[in-house]
Amino acid sequence: MRRLIALLFLLLFGAPAGAADDNKQQELDDLRGRIAQLREEVEQASEDRKEAADGLRDSEKRISEVTRLLTDLQRDERRIGSTLTQLGQQRDSVAADLREQERQLAELIRQRYRAGDLDTARLLLSGRDPGAVQRDLGYYAYIGRARADLVERHRASLAELAAIEDKTRQRQQELNSVEQAQRARHQQLNDERQARQGVYDKLSSQIRQQRRQIDSLVRDQQRLTRLIERLRRLAEERKARQAALERERRANKPAGKGERVERVADASLAGYKFSGLRGKLALPTVGEIVAKFGQARSGGGPAWKGLFIKTRSGQPVRAVGNGDVVFSDWLRGFGNLLIIDHGEGYLSLYSNNESLYKQAGDSVRAGDIVAATGNTGGHEDPGLYFELRRQGQPFDPLSWVK
């Protein structure tokens, strides 16, 4: 915005219209280029963010899958835990059966011991009743088969217990291995998701910032566009005023050269009150009077209320009497304007100056240099516009000139 203000000041303080327009147009072109560049950057960042979002989506999908697998794994773990519980119960049952078998075997051994170590031959030769002998033989055969069966069942039970224990240990190892692998995968994917989330958030922040910059630059562009249009109208108005001044100057210019101003205000007039300068007044600068008080302006404008003294730029402008500076600034239509209050209701006005040497509040004496001539305020020719006023009403300065 400082550059915009600088452009405005450049125009208002008399920069050539073409140069000001070129500067403003260049400023507008720069803004448009910057906006276009930022929009390209936003588009690229949006593409990058889309890729980051796709990667983030993939990571989250994989995390979801691994989480599902972990859930399944935990369910399997619970199922295996239940299986292990059942296996433990089976092992306890087999152990109980084994103890019972051992008890029964011990009982059979005791019975065999009580019956004595009688073999089949001795029973047949014992002379006992054949029926009794046959029963004893059957009984001993039963005891032998039962002993062998119990021993075999004992061995099978021991093998079953060992198999159950091996199976339990194997399932536990598998479970631990799978769980560790899945948890490691879950952590890896979570780290990947956090990294991609960071990229996504950074790109989102960058896009928001760039969009804010675009909005700001677009507002600057709109303001500058409005300013260009305003300055274009001002330039057209200035050109029209210059053309009117030129037509008026030519229409009102007497044959031959305009009236020359040779005598200017000096310190010899400092001893007078301003009202005492009537008939003694000297004009503030040398040059050619090309517009006089009361002359009609061309183009239907108001009549001149003072004098326009055409001269080269940089000529000294002198105070025509003692007084205090009450205004020293740029004013539209007048350019750099200085006004002196001489008391008794008298004011003198000096406009279109190139430079102002006195500030509001300064005291001046007749003949003091207060400004330098120029062409500010829209005048084509350099010079000085000079007015005298009493009680706010302008009057002809030449009527007071000696």
Residue that the structure tokens 């069966």 belong to? 149
Identify whether 112 is part of a domain.
yes
d(CA 326, CA 140): 149
Range of the domain at 96: 17-224
Answer yes or no: do 60 and 206 share one domain: yes
Range scoring the smallest mean pLDDT among 77-86, 128-137, 245-254, 323-332: 245-254
Query: What total of structural domains would you count in the chain?
Result: 2
**Distance of CA 210 to CAs 36, 42, 44, 48, 51, Å?**
12, 7, 12, 14, 19
Kindly give the residue spans of alpha helices, DSSP state H, lying in 116-129: 120-124
Res. 324 pLDDT band, cuts 50 70 90: very high
Residue 57 neighbours by CB under 8 Å, 6+ apart? none
Answer yes or no: do 67 and 204 share one domain: yes
Identify whether 239 is part of a domain.
no
Flag whether pLDDT at 119 surpasses 80.
Answer: no
Identify whether 2 is part of a domain.
no
Q: 385 by DSSP, 3-state: which?
A: strand
Query: Which of 51-55, 180-184, 323-327 holds the top average pLDDT?
Result: 323-327
- Residue after which a domain boundary falls, among 224, 244, 269: 224
State pTM to two decimals. Answer: 0.39
Q: Percentage of the chain surpassing pLDDT 70?
A: 81
Flag whether pLDDT at 390 surpasses 80.
Answer: yes
164 DSSP assignment: H
Residue that the structure tokens 């369910």 belong to? 75
Flag whether pLDDT at 300 surpasses 70.
Answer: no
What pLDDT, on the 0 to 100 scale, is given for residue 8? 39
pLDDT in tens, 214-244: 888 788 778 767 876 876 788 788 778 777 6
